[in-house]
Structure 1
Amino acid sequence: MQLIDIGANLTHDSFDRDRTAVIERAQAAGVTRMIITGASREHSPQALQLAQAYPGMLYATAGVHPHHAAEYTEECDAEMRALHTHPEVVAVGETGLDYFRDFSPRPAQRRAFERQLQIAVDLAVDGVGKPLFLHQRDAHADFMAVMREFDGRLGPAVVHCFTGTREELFDYLDQDWYIGITGWLCDERRGAHLREIVKNIPANRLMVETDAPYLLPRTLSPMPKDRRNEPMFLPHIVEELARDRGETVAATAANATATTRAFFGLPGID
């Protein structure tokens, strides 16, 4: 089983003491490549640096999460655009809307989201915009409205760490967007509804991720003492996902990896 984790926050300070070992453990578990999430002015450059340190194994996104939308200035926009000149940066984001916590004012979130969608449009190759790595929580109507403003101009988009409703899922699939599934699936308190609806995601629209160090799967046994999620736990998520979809683990893994390679334009795995 060769997997690609599309969302690992390996620039998080919880990995400062053992980041190399975390990457090695992921590889040993079959997670052969990872997309390192860039979600702020501080961490997007760090994600690029990490990807450059592990060529062909790590890649990066560059963007500003809605939690940090208030920092999205003209200077920030220029910084993001400069990061996207590097081939290791394979998607715009993490960007979107988050009304669950409102760490940034909602108008600022929408402005930052629109600015980053414009970056994806401006970076189009042969008329296809750069891939988007999207976040949405408790903001579905506004999220869809902002995306509609860019109808016909955007390239492929993945709604990462999908935790929403059946209706939201079908809204995204109707747009031919991709869906990222995390260990939220394994949370009997909040994710039980996902077990029923993940079977509706076409194989060529499904990707997998840990969102490490967050969202440690609650069905892991034994649990790590520090309760920190790592990319090496991605196979466990795939096993749970395959069971809920009525597929073999091998089929779910192979399809997710092929879909991810095509979405991000990654080379094949030797």
Structure 2
Amino acid sequence: MAPLTRISAGGPAVQPDYAAKYYSQRSTDGGLIIAEATNITESARGVYGAPGIFTQEQIDAWKPITQAVHDKGGIIFLQLWHTGRLSHPSLQPDNVLPVSSSTNMPIDESRQTLTQDGMFLFDGINDRTDQYGGSVENRARILVEVIEEVLKGVDSSKVGVRLSPYNKTCNQQDPDPATMYKYVFEKLSEYDLAYAHIVEPRGFHYENELTPKEGATKFFRQFYKGVYMMASGFERNNSIEVVENGDADIVASSPTLIWSSGLN
């Protein structure tokens, strides 16, 4: 199941009691759930009601959810989220302006808090002039450093990365996504991660005229050597075709898991 952003955690960003039932109903033996986008710090918030995992109360609220999935024989990952420049002062501590890639922030702190790497990868957003801006290698540097920092305390089999190379949502622009993300996928191949998850530019992720004719999933497959997951706009039949053709190892689904009868 692909991550499905929900806004039911209220102001404290604490998952409600019924969230365990929600995830349990969508769990199957051996199935993989990537849980909804979850804030990693108070300043990460970009939408009211999204859950967090930066206080003990929030952590405790996630425990019955993960247990409910495990009781069904399922596996669950958490999508860690920092909305960066997309936030609003009303959601920030003391109503300060949200951070962006150009913010003069301590990079050591950025690595430790997993600041949203997407705003560094896109050339149209990242206007830094230091070692984190400019070249492909520099723009990918923060992502690489975050991964290496995380892997100091977490086995690589428990870490995945989700990327949207051709995402134009919220004015994310890059004149050459193919070159940028070719480098990123080749770099990710060095870490033996649980998966790399690519999102096609469909639906909420507006279509991009720069998308390769064969689609982003198939194009970038050649550059990534690990478990490769894709999402966006796939149903059962074409999902099977994608896997059988070797274009992806896993297809993440979401719409039917929202509206199917019998699910809350």
Q: Normalising by structure 2, report the TM-score.
A: 0.47
Q: RCO greater where, 1 or 2, for CA within 8 Å and sep 6 or more? A: 1
| Bigger strand share | 1
Q: Normalising by structure 1, report the TM-score.
A: 0.46
| Bigger helix share | 1
